[in-house]
Amino acid sequence: MKVFKINGKTGTSEIVIGESIKNLSKYSKSNKCVIVTDTNVNALCGAFFPSGFEVIEIGIGEQNKTLSTVEKLYEKFLEFGLDRASYVIGIGGGIVCDVTGFAASTYLRGIRFGFVPTTLLAQVDASLGGKNGVNFKGYKNLIGTFNQPEFVLCDFEMLKTLPIRELKSGFAEIIKHAIIADIQLFSYLEKNYENALSLHRTEIEKILYDSFAVKSKIVSMDETEKGERRKLNFGHTLGHAIEKTTGLLHGEAISIGIIAAAKLSLKKGMLTQKDAERVENLISKFGLPTKIKMDKIAVIDAIEKDKKRENKKIRFVLLEKLGRAKIIDIEIDELKGVVSDMC
């Protein structure tokens, strides 16, 4: 078991890697604890939830990551009589974590909360860093807060029931962390991808730890995304547009976004051909898509709606080399060219 701390302005987060969900009550000390989960996770893991905790179930999928789900949570919090001393725990994937974090951060101007992420994507990304929120009017994560969970408990056992496609999708975020800030992790992934995919404890523990190190270092430097933290959006400008228009999973869509950003870095003379190929090869080793048929117009429309866009330019993350990202403003037309090349 490894413990990692994120010290942020909005609080300290304790990340416990390799802990069992059976020890959850050790981390959520309160006389009233409420679990928020989704229907799948409740059916698969509900038996491991501590007794005596109230359980609230939400529906599955992005269509439930809304203010109306948050409102339902507020109603339940009221019904259960939660107060400032109570504890809310989100047990599930990124959707459960994002919605739970937002509801807990806003109810009574904020009550304590923690996460037990049950997908790899939630373990390495969604549960960490204090961003939470919901979608609004077709815009992803438009409404939300920055607020750190008090703890994040990562139990590898939970990942064993995860469909393989969801598991691979989570590795895309780990690959992203390696590409933007940790060349050693990148090489380790190249050598150990098979054991990683089979969830061998030694490999998965090391990979998660190193991946957390990248994210937590960046988050500690820039909690509210004014500069450095934008590097975590590597592959995401195109990735989000692809996710929205193709129905690919988040990690699958950002895999294609990562490859496109690497190719653009190559085109701009920032990355070598060899390194751009290493990026594509690693993504393919993890069984993630490297290309997809897509509707050029719809993808461009989605990019134009991107909230990071400023006039005719868009803030974009490119690579100076493997292990080092750089944020630059690029012309929206240049990005359209990249999409055209990909279609």
Ligand X SMILES: NC(=O)c1ccc[n+]([C@@H]2O[C@H](COP(=O)([O-])OP(=O)(O)OC[C@H]3O[C@@H](n4cnc5c(N)ncnc54)[C@H](O)[C@@H]3O)[C@@H](O)[C@H]2O)c1
Q: Is 57 in the site for ligand X (CB under 6 A)?
A: no
Return the number of the residue (61 or 81) whose C-beta is nearest ligand X.
61
> Does the annotation count 190 as an active-site position?
no
By CB under 6 A, the count of residues binding ligand X is 28
Site string for ligand X, 236-255 (x = CB under 6 A): --------------x-----
When binding is defined by CB under 6 A, the residue of 19, 155, 166, 210 that contacts ligand X is 166
Among 6, 121, 238, 241, binds ligand X (CB under 6 A): 121
Q: Is 167 in the site for ligand X (CB under 6 A)?
A: no
Binding status of residue 162 toward ligand X by CB under 6 A: yes
Separation of first and last alpha carbons in the chain: 45
The span from the CA of 81 to the CA of 83, in Å, is 6
Residue 316 has φ and ψ, to the nearest 5°, of: -135, 145
126 binds ligand X (CB under 6 A): yes
54-66 as b/e, with b when 16 or more CB fall inside 10 Å?
Answer: bebbbeeeeebbb
**Which position among 177, 230, 250, 278 bears the catalytic label?**
250
Choose which of 19, 57, 125, 252 interacts with ligand X (CB under 6 A).
125
Site for ligand X in 132-151 (CB under 6 A): 132, 141
Half-sphere exposure of 287 (CA within 13 A, CB side): 13
Residue from 8, 129, 239, 289 touching ligand X (CB under 6 A): that is: 129
- Known catalytic membership, residue 177: no
- Closer residue to ligand X in complex, CB, 250/278: 250
Between CA 71 and CA 61 the distance in angstroms is: 17
Told to check if 155 binds ligand X by CB under 6 A, we report: no
By the criterion CB under 6 A, which residues form the site for ligand X?
A: 38, 40-41, 44, 60, 62, 65, 92-96, 98, 118-119, 121-122, 125-126, 129, 131-132, 141, 158, 161-162, 166, 250
Residues with a known catalytic role: 109, 131, 173, 215, 225, 229, 233, 236, 240, 250
